[in-house]
Amino acid sequence: MKEKLAQRINAMLDSSRDVLAGSVDENGYPQVKALFLRSRDGLRTLWFSTNTSSHHVSQWLSNPKACVYCFDPKGFLGLLLTGEAQVHTDQETKDRFWKPGDRLYYPKGRTDPDYCIVRFTAGQASVYHNLQKETFTLPPHSPLDKSIL
Amino acid sequence: MKEKLAQRINAMLDSSRDVLAGSVDENGYPQVKALFLRSRDGLRTLWFSTNTSSHHVSQWLSNPKACVYCFDPKGFLGLLLTGEAQVHTDQETKDRFWKPGDRLYYPKGRTDPDYCIVRFTAGQASVYHNLQKETFTLPPHSPLDKSIL
């Protein structure tokens, strides 16, 4: 059962172009935005591309507290990761995740100052399934595997 | 153009069973959860049903700061509402929004203590469309109409 649940979580993330990312604004209000999920290492580290000028980026620069949420309403399955977001504007990281179609969002290409990468590191994962919720603390650098779910 | 955008926002919300709701946990981290949208009055007031025992309800009881997010990835359209959430456990409000199919989530029916209604009141709306963002302050009790969008 647990292995099957881990497979379902992985499949949901692998088929998700967008996931929901949460930040906290300067007045303490939660904010949510859909972001492009670029890459991930299990549930521990997720990489997103977004606009450097966006509100969620400036919110994370002053307060890195963040969450990531992904759900499959038909399968009654949800995943909430809680952790920290780090904004990367160095060219090496930007090159690593650049894709040709990104020019639609960043007309100046991979060196566009409005293109940046957000690295999200999760400390905790909550899984919603079968109308229940289970919460797991994620050990450092652990991939999503049977030992977690 | 503005009227058309308001129509698209309305159509998106009317076709959404679930929207994403944001809260802030006891450690200051943002949290996101899909909730059933039960009813709404324009963009100003939205009503959700959820479990009284859930984490987001206890978070809103101690900190009512909230947001609601809805997006259409194919249409490059997103709506972020920022405001306050109020938890209603009185029977009159619970009766008002009860639907027969709710027994799946609240086995004890409309008097189930684990069934509650959340009223979200927005103070601000941000609309994402055509890769741009526009933010509007919502006047009290204003419906979504041409004057807002």
**Alpha-carbon distance B50 to B106, whole Å?**
9
Q: CB-CB: which of B29, B65, B105 is closest to A67?
A: B29
pLDDT in tens, B9-19: 999 999 988 89
Q: Which pLDDT value is given to residue B27? A: 97
Distance in angstroms (rounded) separating the CA atoms of residues B66 and A64: 18
ipTM of this complex: 0.91
Q: Which two tokens stand for residue B14?
A: 């009317």
Strands (DSSP E) contained in A25-99 are 30-41, 45-51, 65-72, 77-88
**Which residues of chain A from 110 to 139 reach within 8 Å of chain B, CB to CB?**
131, 133
Of B30, B55, B73, the CB nearest to A24: B30
On the question of pLDDT at A54 being above 70, the answer is yes
CA-wise closest residue to A78 among A143, A130, A40: A130
Share of chain B above pLDDT 70, in %: 93
C-alpha to C-alpha distance for A68 and B32, rounded to whole angstroms? 8
Residue A79 has pLDDT above 70, yes or no: yes
Question: pLDDT tens for residues A114-123?
Answer: 999 999 999 9
Residue A68 CA to residue A62 CA, distance in Å, equals: 18
Specify whether the CB–CB gap between B82 and B67 falls below 8 A.
yes
Task: Name the pTM for this structure.
Answer: 0.91
> Which residues, in sequence order, are bridge partners of residue B118?
B48, B87
> pLDDT tens, B103-138?
999 999 999 999 999 999 999 999 998 778 888 888
Is A31 close to B34, i.e. CB distance below 8 A? no
